[in-house]
Structures are given as structure tokens and as C-alpha cells.
Amino acid sequence: MNRSFLLLCSLLLPSLAAGQEQSRYLEGAVPLRDGRVVFAREVAAPGLSRESIFPRVEQMAADRFARQEGSGVVYASEEDGVVICRGREYLVFARRALVLDRALVDYQVTYACDNGKCTMEVTRLRYFYGEEKPERYLAEEWITDEHAYDKKRGRLFKGNDKFRAKTIDLVDGLAKLLEENLSALPATRVPTVPAREGFQRLLPSEINGNVIGMLMNGSLSLLVDGEEVATRWGGIGYALDRPVVYCFTTAPVTTARYALTWRAAGQWTGFYKEVVFECRPLLRRQLSADDLADESLDREHPLPCLQVGEITAAWVR
């Protein structure tokens, strides 16, 4: 192969790569839905339940949209699995000595969490351009194919191009952040939860009343593969980025799922008579005397196994 051909290739390859990169901003790059600009990205999270995904997305959104005044989480519903945020930040087009070319963009992001995935939508994009008397531009009138793309020449119009490219970069960055946060979660099996007759299903956060008083005035039973396992004490909390229930058992639970049931004692007058927690094991530890800060516990009770489980469903009546 002659040297002149190799030299030609070395000159052409960077420009070809740049052309491929620029193509992501061209025709069809800005989607419309019912006449409105809507960027939608679906991030898969195989094996993760909605209950596992939601708190991570809510925390990610709170951190991401705390960067700029006027940004933040405006709505979050664990029951619906939805987080809505307002974004307000600068798109910087050029930064040089004595020159700062930028626009303030205001937009909405909606995260919809579901079993095995989270869908992100970026909508209501508005731009404010100019430092002293900023002019307002709507995305629908500025970055769509109709207004920003020259079909005859196959290129973007000068002026609109920088808004379009930086907006697409912003959306891609938000999608990448979501993907990174969900990939950091440990995989869990999405439970198929059959209805329990006579019970109402609640989210863990919806359980009412004095939980400590409830646990003190009732009994706990642990059901593993249809067999009852001896248990005592217990509690409800939030750990390892998910709602959990813990108890102490005489032997560790090694099955994929189990149920922990609380039943009220006769004198209890609280909200519920019975609560069933369906769980997936997260942590188990056989305690030893070295684990006890109060040495008297070793004499009063046989040393049990600490069992912590993620609540996959809660049923009450």
C-alpha cells in the first residue's frame, strides 16, 4: 500500500468521525409529539423492581437539579413511581476571552419508574438568550426540523444549530446519568405478588401509626416455604436504599422469599389487626457474644441470627 494513500486516509478519518458525530443532530433528531418537543429515553434495569428503582431516581434527581437556582424536584410520588423536576441552567455555546455566548434553558423532566425500567421525558423547553434583555425562544419554534434543518442542503441553519446541538447533548447527559445510577443498583428479582384475600396492599411508606407500639403489642411469625420459623423482636426501617423489615431468628433464612407476619394482641387498639410483609433476603448474620454491647443479653436470650429483608409487598387488615 503506497504512502500517499495512507496519508490521505489519515487526513480523512478525523473528518469522517466528526461527520458521524454531527449526524446525531441532523434530520429527525428532535422528536415531536402532538406538536410539542418531547425527548424520551427508556433506560432498562433488568431484574429491578419499581420499589427499588424509585428511591434511587428520586435521590439522583434531587442531587442533579440542586445545581442551579430555580431548579429542583417539584413532585415525587412513590405510589405512582413518578418524579418530576424543573431544570434551569445555562447552555454555553462559546467561552473565550471577553466573550461568553450562552443561553438559559428552562425545561421539565419526568421520570416514570416501573419494574425493570425507567422512562425519562424532557419537555417544555424554553430558551432565554441575551445577557441584558434576554429574548425568549420556544423549542417548538426554534430547534425542530421545520425551523432548524435545511433539507435542501442537508445541514442545520446557522444560529439554530447551537441551540439544537446543546439541547440534544443535555438530554443525552441526563439519560447517561440515569443509566449510571440504575446500573449501580444490585440486581433483584422483580416479584410477582398475588393478592391476599381480605387484605389491602400498601406501600411501606403508607403504613400508619406507632410502629414500635404495634410491635410491642403483638406477635411475629416467620413463614418460609410454608413452614413457620421461630422468631422474636423486629422492626421496620429504611436501609441499603430500600424499605426493610428485620427480625431475629434461630436459624438464617436462605430461601429467595419469605413472609413475616405481625398479629395484634387482644389489648391493641391501633390501625391494624394483622400486617404481612413479603420479603426478599438482603442480609443475614449469626450473632456472637462479641456483637453484643450489653453482655446481659447473652445470659437472657440464646444468641439468634439477624435477618434483614427488603419489603417487596405489604398487606394489612
The domains of the chain, with CATH numbers, are 15-183 (3.30.530.80), 200-316 (2.30.110)
How would residue 187 be classed by pLDDT, with cut points 50, 70 and 90?
A: low
DSSP annotation of 64: H
Q: Are 111 and 83 in contact (CB under 8 A)?
A: yes
Buried b (16+ CB within 10 A) or exposed e, 256-270: eebbbbbebeeeeee
How would residue 301 be classed by pLDDT, with cut points 50, 70 and 90?
A: low
Q: CA angle 252-254-259, nearest 5°?
A: 85
The pLDDT assigned to 285 comes to: 87
The pLDDT assigned to 37 comes to: 97
How would residue 296 be classed by pLDDT, with cut points 50, 70 and 90?
A: low
DSSP annotation of 61: H
Alpha-helical runs (H) found in 100-159: 145-148
Average pLDDT, the chain: 84
> What's the whole-number mean pLDDT along residues 125-129?
97
> What's the whole-number mean pLDDT along residues 105-124?
96
Alpha-helical runs (H) found in the chain: 3-23, 50-64, 145-148, 160-183, 211-216, 296-300
Give the range among 55-64, 112-121, 215-224 with minimum mean pLDDT.
215-224
Residue type (1 letter), 45? A
> What's the whole-number mean pLDDT along residues 284-313?
77
Q: Count Cβ atoms within 10 A of the Cβ of residue 252 and give its class: 0-12 exposed, 13-18 middle, 19 or more buried.
A: middle
Between helix 160-183 and helix 50-64 the angle, nearest 10°, is: 130
**C-alpha gyration radius of the chain:** 28
Residue 113 pLDDT > 80: yes
How would residue 8 be classed by pLDDT, with cut points 50, 70 and 90?
A: very low
Other CB atoms within 10 Å distance of the CB of residue 65:
21
Taken as a whole, the chain contains a residue count of 317
Q: Count Cβ atoms within 10 A of the Cβ of residue 184 and give its class: 0-12 exposed, 13-18 middle, 19 or more buried.
A: exposed
How would residue 15 be classed by pLDDT, with cut points 50, 70 and 90?
A: very low
Q: Are 221 and 183 in contact (CB under 8 A)?
A: no
Percent over 70 (pLDDT), the chain: 87
How would residue 300 be classed by pLDDT, with cut points 50, 70 and 90?
A: low
**Among candidate residues 157, 156, 166, 96, the one with its CA nearest the CA of residue 129:** 166
The pLDDT assigned to 5 comes to: 41
How would residue 36 be classed by pLDDT, with cut points 50, 70 and 90?
A: very high
Instruction: Round to whole Å and give the CA distance between 121 and 107.
Output: 10
Would residue 209 be called left, alpha or beta, if left means φ above 0 and alpha means ψ between -120 and 50 degrees?
left
How would residue 75 be classed by pLDDT, with cut points 50, 70 and 90?
A: very high
The pLDDT assigned to 97 comes to: 82
The C-alpha cell 418460609 sits at: 224
The pLDDT assigned to 17 comes to: 36
The pLDDT assigned to 11 comes to: 41
How would residue 13 be classed by pLDDT, with cut points 50, 70 and 90?
A: very low
How would residue 211 be classed by pLDDT, with cut points 50, 70 and 90?
A: confident
> What's the whole-number mean pLDDT along residues 247-252?
83
Residue 200 pLDDT > 60: yes
Give the range among 6-20, 129-143, 236-250 with minimum mean pLDDT.
6-20
3-state secondary structure of 273: coil
Instruction: Round to whole Å and give the CA distance between 142 and 171.
Output: 16
> What's the whole-number mean pLDDT along residues 115-138?
94
pTM of the model: 0.56
Bigger pLDDT: 232 vs 57: 57
Instruction: Round to whole Å and give the CA distance between 313 and 245.
Output: 11
Bigger pLDDT: 10 vs 211: 211
